[in-house]
């Protein structure tokens, strides 16, 4: 069954201390070719009928993201894509 995925990320001009902490830790793991890291959230919404992108955008704008400091994208994915993302 298709799902709507909402990805929420801090706006580029907002500092991301979690991302900075990860980026700073990578050299200790032997990873030296990463320029920066940004941390975000992925929310999956499953509707009872067909996926409703307009409704999902409304949910994201009013509940899932803080529009002052965060941007979000909304897309439909098939069930096998959501399973791949969890691997």
CATH number at residue 64: 3.30.1280.10
**70-85 pLDDT per residue, tens:** 999 999 998 776 556 6
What's the average model confidence in pLDDT over 63-67?
Answer: 97
List for the chain the helix, strand, coil content (%; round to 5). Answer: 40, 25, 35
With residue 20 as reference, give the H or E element that holds it: helix 17-25
Rounded to two decimals, the pTM is: 0.84
Q: Could you give the number of structural domains in the chain? A: 1
d(CA 77, CA 2): 6
The CA R_g of the chain, rounded to the nearest whole Å, is: 16
Structural domain that includes position 45: 3-77
What's the average model confidence in pLDDT over 55-71?
Answer: 97
Look at residue 29 and tell me if it is in a domain.
Answer: yes
Contact by Cβ (8 Å): 40, 8: yes
């Amino acid at each position: 069954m298709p799902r709507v995925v909402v990805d929420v990320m801090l706006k580029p001009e907002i500092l991301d201390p979690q991302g900075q902490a990860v980026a700073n830790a990578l050299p200790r793991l032997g990873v030296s070719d990463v320029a920066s890291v940004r941390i975000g959230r992925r929310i999956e919404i499953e509707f009872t009928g067909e996926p409703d992108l307009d409704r999902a955008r409304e949910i994201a704008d009013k509940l899932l993201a803080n529009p002052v400091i965060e941007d979000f994208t909304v897309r439909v994915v098939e069930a096998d894509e959501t399973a791949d993302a969890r691997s």
